[in-house]
Amino acid sequence: MVSPNSRSEYESRMHRVLAYIDQHLDQALDLYTLAEVAHFSQFHFHRLFSAWMGETLGDYLRRRRVEVAAMRLAAQPRSTVLNMALSVGFGSAEAFTRAFRNRFGCSPTTWRMQQATQRRANSNPGQVNSKMSQAPATLSAEHVAFRTPNMEAIMNVKLIDRQPVTVAYLRHLGPYGEPISLFWQNTYYPWAVTNKLLERARYGISHDDPSITAAEQCRYDACAEVAPDFVASGGAFKATIPGGRYAVLAFKGGGEQVGEAWAALLRDWLPASGLQLDARPCFEYYPTDAACDPQTGAFECEICIPVVPL
């Protein structure tokens, strides 16, 4: 019989490997290196990974590389296919195109054109802008205003420099949307009560783009900001959200609208910003004073994406 502590240790090590992979997609990720990250023997790691993830290490690496590239293709239209291939660890545009076509059924160039067409068709700037509010004035920031031909309104995005923060988190694996709301209510809330974390700032980390990754493979972390020496328990794990420069868009609305705000930031603002994503995770930040209306389901948060110069 596997003890809960033993299972938690296995899961913690696998989370560490997945985070390492996402942070080093542009590098060679060999079995030896990843086994070292997991603190498992190289001889057994491949089998353990396949059993835990339901796909081989090689299949997982190829999937993550092309899925991250697919998101960047839409968000960084001025980057070449070759540069995109190199940024996720492919040695050539040809190898990248083959892998991309196997996953999405079309070439990277066609995918990018389809995403641009869909973005223009779905553009509803008045609605998106009406759901944005100014972030708390306590965050000093550089305001960036931007306009596209499809947007009559100006979207205000702030560039801020965040410090690294330690979080304790619970992971949800599966579809986003309503299941995430239920996860916060039914899983995170009781855990936060037990650990006296209700008054701490919260973070929601979406590790996958649900428009690209299969719903059953999407990962989401519900996090509470904690002290570095906090001891995680109750199925929780600890991680550090990296510091650095982030583009921040304040959101106010319901769960059905937050996806529109994410799309507006990633698909409309980012391509015209002169910036690009890097390997740090995107997340939603919920300050301690963030409002939430249990009657309507409306809530406030800051959508944060990591950015570096293009």
Give helix 57-75 / helix 42-53 axis angle, nearest 10°.
60
Phi, psi of 155, rounded to the nearest 5 degrees: -95, 125
Q: Residue 203 belongs to a domain with what CATH number?
A: 3.20.80.10
Residue 128 has pLDDT above 70, yes or no: no
Segment of 120-134, 212-226, 270-284, 285-299 carrying the highest mean pLDDT: 212-226
169 and 296 inside one domain? yes
18: domain CATH number?
A: 1.10.10.60
Q: Do 98 and 200 sit in the same domain of this protein?
A: no
Same domain? For 305 and 244 the reply is: yes
- Residue 208 counted as domain residue: yes
- How many domains would you assign to the chain? 2
Average pLDDT over residues 166-170: 98
Instruction: Give the per-residue pLDDT at 125.
Output: 43
What pLDDT digit, counting tens, does each position of 192-225 carry?
999 999 999 999 999 998 889 999 999 999 999 9
pLDDT tens digits, one per residue of 260-285 = 888 889 888 998 888 999 999 999 99
Distance of alpha carbon 233 from alpha carbon 191, whole angstroms: 9
Does residue 47 fall inside a structural domain? Answer: yes
Is 196 a member of any domain? yes
**121 belongs to a structural domain:** no
pLDDT above 90 (res 227):
yes
For residue 132, tell me if it sits in a domain. no
Q: Which domain, by its residues, includes 46?
A: 4-116
